[in-house]
A = this chain, B = another copy of it.
Amino acid sequence: MTPTSNNGKTGISIPAATMERLPRYLMQLFRLRRKNCDSVNSQSLGEALGLKDTQIRKDLSYFGVFGKARYGYNVEYLIKAIESILGLTSEYNLAIIGVGNLGKALANYAVQVNSNFVLKLLVDTNPEIIGTTVADLPVRSMDDLPQLLSTQEIHIGIIAVPEKAAVDVANILVEGGVRALYNFSQAELHHIEGVFIENASISYGVYKLAHHLSGSWPRKK
């Protein structure tokens, strides 16, 4: 990721660290909306997210959102502003490749996250999984993937296959016109010209926690 992110429409430059926090803000704002909460101040937003209120005010000021002293931020307005910065004013079609336990979990996640993401395609190689229904979609055969990609536009390909299959799957997706890959396999997928790759790195969290534990709480083997 580049040090700053540039919103094409407005030309605003936002630091990468702020960009990383915006999805968390958005998910907290969705929670507030579900509770019919109209406004929120930086203190309570900070408490919910484990951030300082000064950090939140600074982050939001980058795209010209300033709270009112007594009322804080309007929840709907803030949702719209962050969605706009994050590019969530368009719809994105998702495909999940690999419908094992992880793929199934991701499929159920995907349909909950945000209405801007539309799960369109589930694909697997296992004959026992092909033809079953997951998250209201039929699982299609991996053999049909190139043809399926030629008839529907997929924006984000989510890779949930074993490590050894990941590179082949990535290549098929890219050949089929997919320009963003979210890689949940343990394989390292690196630079492909014109393609955005996000590595989910599920196992890195345990390494980070182990490091924290070892520093604060020395243990013998």
Residues of A within 8 A of B (CB): 1, 5-8, 19-20, 22-24, 26-28, 47-50, 85-92, 94, 100-102, 104-106, 108-110, 112-114, 116-117, 155-156, 158, 179-182, 186, 188, 190-191, 196, 198, 200-221
Contact = CB atoms under 8 A, between A and B. Distances in A.
Nearest to A181: B209
Given A91-B221, A208-B198, A213 B155 contact: yes
A87 B213 contact: yes
Given A101-B104, A188-B28, A5 B179 contact: no
Nearest to A204: B23
Contacts of A218: 8
The 7 closest A-B pairs by CB, nearest first: A87-B214, A50-B190, A102-B105, A101-B105, A23-B207, A180-B209, A101-B104
A49 B203 contact: no
A156 B210 contact: yes
Contacts of A156: 206, 209-210, 213
B207 A90 contact: no
A208 B22 CA distance: 9
Given A23-B201, A112-B186, 15 more contacts: A1-B208, A5-B215, A8-B215, A8-B218, A19-B211, A24-B204, A49-B190, A86-B214, A87-B210, A87-B212, A88-B214, A89-B214, A92-B206, A180-B210, A182-B209
